[in-house]
Amino acid sequence: MASLRDRANALFQTACTAADPGIALSRALTDTPLPRPDKGGAYRIVSIGKAAVPMAEAMIAKVQGQAFSALVVTNYENARDVAGAVVMASGHPVPDENGAKAALAVEAMLADTTSADRVIALISGGGSALLPAPVEGVSLADKAATSRLLLGAGVDISQLNLVRQALSRLKGGGLLRAAHPAPVTGYILSDVIGDDLRVIASGLTVAPVGSRAEARALLQGKGLWADLPASVQAALERDRDETPLPPAQNVLIGSNRKSLEAMQSEAGADAMIVSDRLEGDVADAAAEIFAAAKSAGDRACLIFGGETTVRLQGTGLGGRNQELALRVAMGMPDLGRPWVFLSGGTDGRDGPTDAAGGVVDAGTASRIIAAGGDPSALLANNDSHRALSLAGDLLVSGATGTNVADVQVLLLGPLH
């Protein structure tokens, strides 16, 4: 069984390496020439997200010898000094005051650009929380409370970003307005299934997902409107700037699908990508995994990718990958063969925990019970972190410096 676990962990690392942001950006810069500033202009590099540091380093190496300034905004775990850049760290997944300060710094950097400058926006997952810029009248606390309300209701990432954009000065193309009249080129590492650029980091360099009227309709339809802070209700009832956005060139440099393909290549001929859209509630995702396991036949490696959601009903600690792993451990049918299942966030962090996810097998539930826990009660309380900790089944990788959503792998041993 240990060899299956080792292989699962190795394939997770393969997925993260395939999404290495520095390599992906360097490859993109080789394929697509970098626009140059006009005479008297300079590069203004803004790097935002969990992969902001290595993306900034790759870009700064590319523009060495030319006039540039650079500002990096990333999460605390991934922050480190970058030669030639100012680095600011802020909160994720819950926005904090340092993020609000970083947003002001980005706006200040872009405020005096001219048409001769070239703004380079390096964007990766996590940018939504890391760069909060609430619209007038909405406090950071009220915006954070709104995000928590939506996450607790199990909304998907597109719905979450519809509301986030409606409450932000920079999201939904706001960065383009802030940079005008300088042309903007965005290099984007996708953490969103389907790679909708409007959703990645809430679409800093593209048009918004929808209107404020659509955001209101979503919240009312979910029965959440009455629970919103009054300032948020007022902001969503105001008209927004509907003038056309300045144009931008956006280049996608990496994605979840590319990481799944790397895992498949590494695993060999008996590996299959079952789904690159494992989405929706974790209970439904677990059922999809069970069905694939029962029909695996001679396949020994089933690969999934996506981003599930969790409906919070308890007070426990965990994340979507940990809860999915726990559900698989508790519900996997008898396959007549050993198995190991891994679910992990490629950024190395799952929810507000120190884990990336979980690695479970047929003995997980028994180990939880032997350690004094009740797996069913822990699951009902959304306490997957404690459950997997009792079993010794947490996936702890540390910050990876990238983020292309989640990957899952089910490894199957020989049939009895």
pLDDT, tens digit, for every residue of 293-321?
999 998 999 999 999 999 889 999 999 99
| Residues near 25 by beta carbon (within 8 Å), at least 6 away in sequence | 54, 55, 58, 59, 122, 187, 189, 253
- Cβ–Cβ contacts within 10 Å for residue 264, how many? 18
240 pLDDT higher than 80: no
Task: Name the average pLDDT for the chain.
Answer: 94
Give yes or no: residues 261 and 248 share one domain.
Answer: no
Give yes or no: residues 271 and 247 share one domain.
Answer: no
Domain annotation covers residue 189:
yes
Domain annotation covers residue 16:
no
DSSP 88-100: EEE-SSS--HHHH
Domain annotation covers residue 148:
yes
Give yes or no: residues 270 and 250 share one domain.
Answer: no
DSSP code for 108: H
Mean pLDDT across the stretch 234-263? 90
Give yes or no: residues 179 and 308 share one domain.
Answer: no
Q: Which two tokens stand for residue 129?
A: 């929380």
Q: Select from 235, 254, 273 the last residue of a domain.
A: 254
Give yes or no: residues 264 and 306 share one domain.
Answer: yes
The CATH number for 54's domain is 3.40.50.10180
Mean pLDDT across the stretch 201-218? 93
Provide the pLDDT for residue 2: 57
| Confidence at 412, pLDDT banded by 50, 70, 90 | very high
153 pLDDT higher than 60: yes
b/e 378-412 (16+ beta carbons within 10 angstroms → b)? bbebbbbbbbbbbbebbbbbebbbbbbbbbbbbbb
356 pLDDT higher than 60: yes
Give yes or no: residues 55 and 163 share one domain.
Answer: yes
Q: What is the pTM of this model?
A: 0.79
pLDDT digits (tens, 9 = 90+) for 262-299: 999 999 999 999 999 999 999 999 999 999 999 999 89
328 pLDDT higher than 90: yes
| Confidence at 67, pLDDT banded by 50, 70, 90 | very high
Give yes or no: residues 331 and 272 share one domain.
Answer: yes
Mean pLDDT across the stretch 92-102? 91
The CATH number for 292's domain is 3.40.1480.10
**Beta strands 339-345 and 406-412, pairing class:** antiparallel
Number of domains in the chain: 2
Give yes or no: residues 207 and 266 share one domain.
Answer: no
45 pLDDT higher than 60: yes
Domain annotation covers residue 3:
no
Domain annotation covers residue 1:
no
Give yes or no: residues 160 and 217 share one domain.
Answer: yes
Give yes or no: residues 280 and 239 share one domain.
Answer: no
- The domain in which residue 379 lies consists of 257-412
Provide the pLDDT for residue 93: 80
Percentage of the chain exceeding pLDDT 70: 99
8 pLDDT higher than 90: yes
Domain annotation covers residue 9:
no
Which of the pair, 221 or 144, is modelled with greater confidence? 221
Q: Select from 236, 254, 272 the last residue of a domain.
A: 254
Give yes or no: residues 180 and 74 share one domain.
Answer: yes
Give yes or no: residues 71 and 185 share one domain.
Answer: yes
| Confidence at 243, pLDDT banded by 50, 70, 90 | confident
